[in-house]
Amino acid sequence: MKSNQQSTRFFAIIFTLLLSSSVVAELVVEEGYVRKPIPGRSMSAAFMTINNTGKDDVILKTAAIEGAKSVEIHTHTHTDGVMRMRQLHELTISAGGSVVLEPGGLHLMIFGIETLPDNPQLTLCDENNQCSEFTLSVRKLVQ
Residue 117 in contact with residue 68, Cβ under 8 Å?
A: no
Residue 76 in contact with residue 85, Cβ under 8 Å?
A: yes
pLDDT at 87 over 80: yes
Domain 25-139, CATH 2.60.40.1890 — does that match?
yes
Sequence ranges of the domains in the chain: 25-139
pLDDT of 94: 96
- pLDDT tens digits, residue range 108-132? 999 999 889 999 999 999 999 999 9
Q: Please state, in angstroms and rounded to a whole number, the distance separating the CA atoms of residues 89 and 126.
A: 11
Q: pTM of the entire structure? A: 0.79
